[in-house]
Structure 1
Amino acid sequence: MNDKEMVIIEKVNFKEEYIIKDNIGISLGRFFIIDKSLSNKTCIIRLNFYKEEMESLLLRSLKLILEFFLKSDDVHKLNIIINEDVNPKPFVDLGFTLEGILQNKTTTNTKIKDEFIFGINSYSYINQISKNIFMLKGKRVILKLLTPEDYKDVLDYNIRNKEHLKRFEHLKDQSFYTKEVQKGILIDSYKQYLNGTSLSLGIYNEGSFIGKIQLSNIVQGIFKSAFLGYSIDKEFEGRGFMKESVVKVINYAFRDMELHRIEASTLVDNYRSRAVLKSSGFQEIGLNKDYLYINGQWKDHISFFKINKELY
Structure 2
Amino acid sequence: MTDIVIRALDRDDSRRLAEMYRGDRDFLKHWDPQRPDAFYTDSGQADAIETTLRECTSGRMWSGVVLEDGGLVGRVSLNNILQAPFRSCSLGYWVAQPYSGRGIATEAARQAMQIAFGSLGLHRVDAFAREENAASCRVLEKNGFKKVGLSRGHIHINGRWRDDIMFQRLAPWDDGIRLDPPAS
Pairwise same-fold verdict (TM > 0.5): yes
Which residue is 1:264 aligned to?
A: 127
Aligned equivalent of 2:23: 160
Q: Whose Rg is larger?
A: 1
1:250 counterpart residue number: 113
1:289 aligns with 2:147: no
Residue identity in the other structure for 1:173:
P
Q: Distance in 2 between matches of 1:144 and 1:169?
A: 22
Aligned counterparts of 2:158 and 2:70: Cα–Cα separation in 1: 31
Answer yes or no: is the 8 Å Cα contact 1:147–1:187 preserved in 2. no
2:101 paired residue number: 238
Counterpart Cα distance in 1 of 2:133 and 2:60: 27
Structure-2 residue corresponding to 1:144: 7
Deviations 1:98-144 (A, max 9, x none): xxxxxxxxxxxxxxxxxxxxxxxxxxxxxxxxxxxxxxxxx721212
Identity %: 26
Task: Please name the residue that 1:187 is paired with.
Answer: 50
| Higher share in helix | 2
Helix, strand or coil at the partner of 1:242: helix
* Aligned amino acid, residue 143 of structure 1: I
Find the aligned partners of 2:56 and 2:81 in 1 and give their Cα distance: 10
One-letter identity of the residue aligned with 1:308: A
The separation in 2 between residues aligned to 1:229 and 1:301, in whole angstroms, is 13
Aligned partner of residue 229 in structure 1, secondary structure: strand
| 1:142-183 Cα deviation digits (max 9, x unpaired) | 212112221111111101111121111011232221222211
Runs of 4+ in 1 over 4 A off after TM superposition: none
Displacement after TM superposition at 1:237 (Å) = 1.3
Q: Distance in 1 between matches of 2:23 and 2:89?
A: 29
Cα RMSD for the two superposed structures: 1.2
* Aligned partner of residue 193 in structure 1, secondary structure: helix
Aligned residue pair count? 174
Unpaired runs of 5+ residues, structure 2, are 179-184
- The one-letter amino acid paired with 2:9 is L
Q: What's the counterpart of residue 182 of structure 2? A: none
The CA distance in 1 between the partners of 2:100 and 2:90, in whole Å, is 22
> Which residue of structure 1 aligns with residue 87 of structure 2?
224
Higher relative contact order (CA 8 A, sep 6+): 2
Quote the Cα distance in structure 2 between the aligned partners of 1:197 and 1:308: 19
Displacement, 1:206?
Answer: 1.5
| TM-score between the two structures when normalised by the length of structure 1 | 0.54
1:168 partner SS: coil
Alpha-carbon distance in 2 for matches of 1:288, 1:220 = 23
User: Structure 1: how far apart are the matches of 2:115 and 2:38?
Assistant: 34
Of Structure 1 and Structure 2, the greater strand share is in 1
Q: What stretches of structure 1 of length at least 5 have no aligned partner?
A: 1-138
Deviation, 1:302, is: 0.3
Structure 2 distance, partners of 1:221, 1:196, is 13
Contact 1:140-1:241 at 8 Å conserved across structures: no
TM-score by length of 2: 0.90
Query: What is the distance in 2 between the residues matched to 1:309 and 1:242?
Result: 20
Aligned counterpart, 1:172: 35
